[in-house]
Amino acid sequence: MINENIKRVCVEKCHENLKLVTSDIQKDIVSACAIETTNSIIKDLGDSLFSILVDEARDVSNKEQMAVVICYVDKLGHVVERLLGITHVPNTTATSLKEEIEALLAKHTLSISRLRGQGYDGASNMQGEFNGLKALILKENEYAYYVNCFAHQLHLALVGVAKKNMNISDLFFLVTNVINVVGGSCKRHDILQEIQLAKIKEALENGELSNGQGLNQETTLKRVGIHVGAHTIEHCKYRVASMCGMFESKYSFYAFDKEKLIRLSKFYLKGFPEVQYSTKELDNQLETYILDMRFNTHFVNLKGIGDLAEKMVEKGKHVLYPLVYKLITLVLILPVATATIERALSAMKILKNRLRNRMSNQFMADCLIPYSV
């Protein structure tokens, strides 16, 4: 047992014949946790519209695994992304991936008809114009709009700029050579760390560096690459939200444009049955909504439309302006970055590692779902 608290309860204080440590019992317990976690997610989703994030990666046993994350706005107005499942896909063609996604959604009584967004990377089997996964889903649901991950786009743009700039390109080339030379020898690696340690001690004595918890730690050499961190991904996350800047509360909703918002609603006709033939109801709600917001001190200087959705639920405005709130939630669930998927696939490498490379697909999936919450 790794966890000492669990060890004391489940091993030391249990009867000799009831320790619950056999592999079959542990798998049953993990499976029950996964089922309860998934049921809680589906219950939290309710009848709300949602979008999906999908990506694949090979595990340590060289099996291609596909992870599916759903994104929705919960009953409190929070934007939520949850891992719905991970499944082994022997074939990564768009048709095969679509079949697996449909099977996973059907397992949880969800339908592609409720999709309002798709988020993938730029692989051809995902974003192909005619036979890609996004195209196949759009044929069944024209409102499941596809957004190429902004973090991947930013990464490609930075790599392209770096390659075009000779100074940056030369820097990466030299640093890569240094890593190859030093990393290829344990002696050279130790010598470099000793030199660096001496420099740090000297800087601390001279007051050039400050000392404290987490500072000046020993690190390993890593290959050079442009890394898109969590901070950058969060900026990407709000990129689509800025497309709907008319809802920004700064400066008294100065960018509010009723006509543009009505045009935006027409992209989601099935989500707005009231405006399929007439925009009068939405027009009236938007007219009253903006007057209410501009004179309501609770809606001043909110950080974004995510905060706006939460505040509307908190103050009951989502009931007063249901069409306006629905429009806000549709913008919020548009997938912009696949960070949650990347974290789930990274967790897969922790759970199924070199020492546990024979873990079954189902057991790994059952472990990942509670782990990722």
Answer for the pair 86, 66: CB distance below 8 angstroms, yes or no.
yes
Q: What does DSSP assign to residue 60?
A: T
Question: Which CATH number is associated with domain 16-149+338-372?
Answer: 3.30.420
What pLDDT sits at residue 274? 55
> What does the buried/exposed string (b/e) look like for 330-343 if buried means 16 or more CB atoms within 10 Å of the residue's CB?
bbbbbbbbbbbbbb
Answer for the pair 143, 270: CB distance below 8 angstroms, yes or no.
yes
pLDDT reading at 262 higher than 90: no
Domain edges within the chain: 16-149+338-372, 152-229, 239-332
pLDDT reading at 175 higher than 80: yes
What pLDDT sits at residue 132? 84
Task: List residues bridging with 71 in a β-sheet.
Answer: 51, 81
Based on the number of CB atoms within 10 Å of its own CB, is 105 exposed (0-12), middle (13-18) or buried (19 or more)?
buried
Q: What does DSSP assign to residue 75?
A: T
What pLDDT sits at residue 230? 43
- What is the C-alpha to C-alpha distance for residues 102 and 79, in angstroms, rounded to an integer? 23
- What is the C-alpha to C-alpha distance for residues 220 and 138, in angstroms, rounded to an integer? 46
| Single-letter amino acid code for the residue at 126 | M
Using alpha carbons only, give the angle 140, 142, 143 rounded to the nearest 5 degrees.
120
pLDDT reading at 149 higher than 80: no
Angle of helix 23-45 relative to helix 361-372, nearest 10 degrees, comes to 50
- What is the C-alpha to C-alpha distance for residues 325 and 318, in angstroms, rounded to an integer? 5
169 vs 130: which has the higher pLDDT: 169
pLDDT confidence band for 36 (50 / 70 / 90):
very high
| Single-letter amino acid code for the residue at 27 | K
Q: Which residues fall within 8 angstroms of residue 95, CB to CB, at 6 or more apart?
A: 136
pLDDT, tens only, 41-95: 999 999 999 999 998 888 888 899 999 999 999 999 999 999 999 999 988 888 9
Q: What does DSSP assign to residue 115?
A: E
